[in-house]
């Protein structure tokens, strides 16, 4: 399965070019959000997407009621289609959509709960309710891009992008559609940041350290959206081939030019990442650019696809290296044929996503 186009919205901006710039710039400290608690001096770090990133006047009229979750999804999906250069035949319903999220539009859900608490069961907003439904974002994408193929929104805590890739491959093989827009989106909010603070160890300096392999790692919540336009066709402008797999034993991971270690503090104990970075393979890890997310694999796949297309190794944004790994320490041209993205998920499985030039 080939990645023909990519759209990305992250704390560092919109589009694949903004990602290239961010990767060259390296780590930038996240914003600090004031806690909702009674203690006015509590601040939470979070890699939030800036308002101006999703203020696109060319499409804003059509999605003016959409919340941040849907806007991030719509813009990344649209950018992926444009980036692919593929002209969609809308009559043939030849494009499918698979949108994965861990937590869905929870900010809007809480806004709806505000309605119930403040105004009572009979005086709530129907618009807020309809946007609190998980598949609102996919609905906006299909409406805006006039995509009329199969559309599935999935919610997963373990392996959302991995599961989406497996399903997309099945759809393409069965010829249910010619292209599949695969995307991931998650959003931050005050409540979720509070929950992260309660459930996870937050890095107060805002720095995720992917190579510390700690038993109690630090994280910093992030948000954003990534979409891939995928196809079995060997299109001219493609980034790379993408293949998902489960691995139970890290010794069996096929040797690549680069292993991307997806540790971001979201899935607990990271000690078992130690054997995923052999000395003769470059190790990379880019979660400090984006923040910690259940959907972080989608962002790492995007970095990998960009490296394969541009034949550039991007320096790791945070280079703390207590285990003396063969880290990518500077950005430079390189011959790269294959990258493995490795994620220990919360179900104690190792997800491997292999990207091949």
Partner 1 sequence: MKIFITGIGGISAAGRNITEHLESFQLMRRNAGTVSLFDTFLPYPVFEVKSPLINKQKNEMRTLSLAMSALKEALHDAGLQKDFSGIKTGVCLGTSVASQLNDIDFYRTYRNTGAADMAAVDRFLKGNLAEAVARSIKASGPSITVVNACSSGADAIGVALSWLRNGVCDIAIAGGADELNRVPLCGFGALGILSKFLCSPFDRDRSGLNLGEGAGILILETEEFSRLRGKKSVLRLAGYGAAADAYHLTAPRPDGSGLESALRKSLADANITPQDVCFVNAHGTATHDNDKVEGIMLEKIFGQQIKFLSTKGYTGHTLGAAGGLEAAFTATALREGWIPASAGFVQQDENIPVRPITEQTQINGSFAVSTSLAFGGNNASIVISKDQGNQPEP
CA neighbours closer than 13 Å in the CB half-sphere of residue 212: 19
Site for partner 1 in 86-105 (CB under 8 A): 93, 97, 103-104
Q: What is the DSSP letter of 323?
A: T
| 130 forms part of the interface with partner 1 (CB under 8 A) | yes
3-state secondary structure of 240: strand
Please count the residues of this chain forming the interface with partner 1, following the rule CB under 8 A.
Answer: 66
| 313 forms part of the interface with partner 1 (CB under 8 A) | no
| 250 forms part of the interface with partner 1 (CB under 8 A) | no
Question: Which region among 46-54, 138-146, 201-209, 305-313 touches partner 1 (by CB under 8 A)?
Answer: 138-146
Question: Which region among 5-13, 15-23, 30-38, 316-324 touches partner 1 (by CB under 8 A)?
Answer: 30-38
| 195 forms part of the interface with partner 1 (CB under 8 A) | yes
Structure tokens at 334: 């390189």
| 191 forms part of the interface with partner 1 (CB under 8 A) | yes
Q: Return the exposure string of 164-173: e unless at least 16 CB atoms fall within 10 Å of the residue's CB, then b.
A: bbebbbebbe
Contact between 229 and 295 (Cβ < 8 Å): no
| 357 forms part of the interface with partner 1 (CB under 8 A) | no
Instruction: Tell me, residue by residue from 139 to 168, as one string, x for binding to partner 1 by CB under 8 A and - for no binding.
Output: xx-xx-xxxxxxxxxxxxxx----x--xx-
- Whichever of 43 and 323 has its CB closer to partner 1, that residue is 43
- Whichever of 82 and 315 has its CB closer to partner 1, that residue is 82
3-state secondary structure of 98: strand
- Whichever of 138 and 328 has its CB closer to partner 1, that residue is 138
- Whichever of 179 and 213 has its CB closer to partner 1, that residue is 179
**Could you give the CA distance from residue 285 to residue 215 in angstroms, rounded to a whole number?**
18
For the CB of residue 67, give the shortest distance to partner 1 in the complex, in Å.
12
| 237 forms part of the interface with partner 1 (CB under 8 A) | no
* Binds partner 1 (CB under 8 A): choice among 2, 84, 109, 287: 109
* Binds partner 1 (CB under 8 A): choice among 41, 58, 198, 236: 198
Q: Dihedral (C-alpha) 69, 75, 78, 82: value to the nearest 10 degrees?
A: -150
Give burial (CB, 10 Å; 0-12/13-18/19+) of 250.
middle
* Binds partner 1 (CB under 8 A): choice among 24, 36, 50, 201: 36
| 245 forms part of the interface with partner 1 (CB under 8 A) | no
Smallest Cα–Cα separation from 1: which of 165, 237, 147, 150? 165
**Could you give the CA distance from residue 96 to residue 94 in angstroms, rounded to a whole number?**
7
End-to-end CA distance of the chain: 12
| 178 forms part of the interface with partner 1 (CB under 8 A) | no
| 124 forms part of the interface with partner 1 (CB under 8 A) | yes
For the CB of residue 15, give the shortest distance to partner 1 in the complex, in Å.
24
Q: How far is CA 30 from the centre of its chain?
A: 17
* Binds partner 1 (CB under 8 A): choice among 21, 29, 215, 347: 347
Structure tokens at 158: 């373990």
| 334 forms part of the interface with partner 1 (CB under 8 A) | no
Smallest Cα–Cα separation from 97: which of 7, 167, 160? 167
For the CB of residue 277, give the shortest distance to partner 1 in the complex, in Å.
26
Q: Dihedral (C-alpha) 206, 207, 210, 214: value to the nearest 10 degrees?
A: -80
The sign of the dihedral angle between the CA atoms of 213, 241, 279, 284 is negative
Contacts to partner 1 by CB under 8 A: 35-39, 93, 97, 103-104, 106, 109-110, 112-117, 120-122, 124-126, 129-136, 138-140, 142-143, 145-158, 163, 166-167, 169-171, 173-174, 176, 191, 194-195, 198-199, 347
């Amino acid at each position: 399965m080939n990645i023909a186009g990519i759209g990305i919205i992250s704390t560092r901006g919109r589009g694949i070019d903004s990602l290239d710039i961010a990767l060259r710039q390296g780590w930038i400290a996240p914003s600090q959000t004031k806690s909702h608690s009674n203690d006015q001096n509590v601040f939470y770090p979070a890699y939030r997407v800036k308002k101006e990133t999703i203020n696109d006047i060319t499409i804003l009229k059509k999605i003016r009621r959409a919340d941040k979750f849907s806007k991030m999804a719509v813009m990344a999906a649209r950018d992926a289609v444009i980036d692919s250069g593929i002209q969609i035949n809308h009559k043939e319903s030849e494009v499918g959509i698979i949108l994965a999220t861990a937590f869905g539009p929870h900010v809007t859900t809480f806004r709806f709960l505000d309605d119930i608490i403040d105004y009572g069961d009979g005086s709530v907003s129907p618009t807020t309710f309809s946007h609190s439904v998980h598949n609102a974002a996919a609905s906006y994408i299909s409406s805006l891009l006039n995509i009329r193929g199969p559309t599935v929104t999935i919610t997963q805590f373990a392996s959302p992008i991995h599961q989406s890739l497996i399903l997309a491959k099945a759809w393409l093989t069965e010829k249910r559609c010619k292209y599949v827009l695969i995307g991931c989106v998650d959003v931050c909010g005050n409540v979720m940041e509070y929950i992260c603070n309660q459930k996870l160890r937050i890095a107060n300096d805002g720095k995720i350290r992917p190579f510390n392999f700690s038993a109690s790692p630090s994280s910093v919540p992030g948000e954003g959206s990534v979409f891939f336009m995928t196809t079995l066709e060997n299109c001219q402008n493609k980034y790379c081939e993408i293949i998902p797999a489960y691995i139970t034993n890290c010794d069996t991971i096929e040797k690549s030019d680069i292993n991307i270690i997806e540790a971001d503090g979201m899935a607990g104990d990271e000690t078992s990442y130690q054997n995923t970075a052999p000395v003769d393979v470059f190790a990379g890890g880019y979660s400090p650019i984006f923040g910690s997310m259940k959907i972080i694999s989608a962002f790492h796949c995007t970095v990998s696809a960009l490296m394969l297309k541009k034949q550039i190794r991007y320096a790791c944004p945070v280079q703390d290296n207590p285990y003396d790994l063969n880290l990518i320490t500077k950005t430079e041209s390189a011959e790269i044929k294959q990258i493995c993205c490795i994620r220990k998920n919360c179900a104690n499985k190792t997800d491997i996503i292999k990207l091949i030039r």
